[in-house]
Amino acid sequence: MKSYVKVALATVMIGAGVWIGAVYSNTAVGSGTSQPGTADDPVVTKSYVDQQIQKALGGGGSTTPAKPAEPAPSAVEEVKVVNLKPGKILFAKAGTEFIVRSGKAVIYTESKDGVADLTDGVDLVNGQAAPTNHLLSFPRDGRGITVKEGIESGLVVMVRGGYQIK
């Protein structure tokens, strides 16, 4: 066969394949899609969607938007920057979080249990160094941090939650 005949035949075959594919994809068997607004794909209003959401949440069929829930108190607590002088202890209330930003800090606890270092996933006990820039969580009252012995500069600590300096 001549090369121009081969090219023409290939063009016809490719064209026929594209045409058959296009026709087949527009039928209900091929694509499975339907026109918006039909029974298969209905258009709904925002009030209908809101009503169905309220029903699913157990709030009845009211179309008025629900009042947003009040945020938990811990979610609105601000972060405070605390400067701790040598010889002082920064005690945390239960649930408070500290981040030591500068200085050499050590953990202070009255019990054998310690403070959770959430950054490394370890428990820090009494007298152990508190790493800088690590998130420390205090599960109970009576635990805190202090400046390492022999260090004359203080600490800068970011605190979220309740605390007391003694």
Convert the pLDDT of each residue in 56-84 to its tens digit.
Answer: 888 654 555 555 555 555 455 789 999 99
pLDDT of residue 110: 84
In contact, 144 and 82? CB cutoff 8 Å = no
* ∠ CA 70-75-79, rounded to 5°: 140
Mean pLDDT of the 90-113 span: 91
In percent, how much of the chain has pLDDT > 70?
81
Which of the two residues, 36 and 123, has the higher pLDDT score?
Answer: 123
Q: What torsion do the CA atoms of 144, 148, 154, 157 make, to the nearest 10 degrees?
A: -40
CA–CA distance from 153 to each of 36, 47, 146 (Å)? 70, 62, 12
pLDDT of residue 113: 82
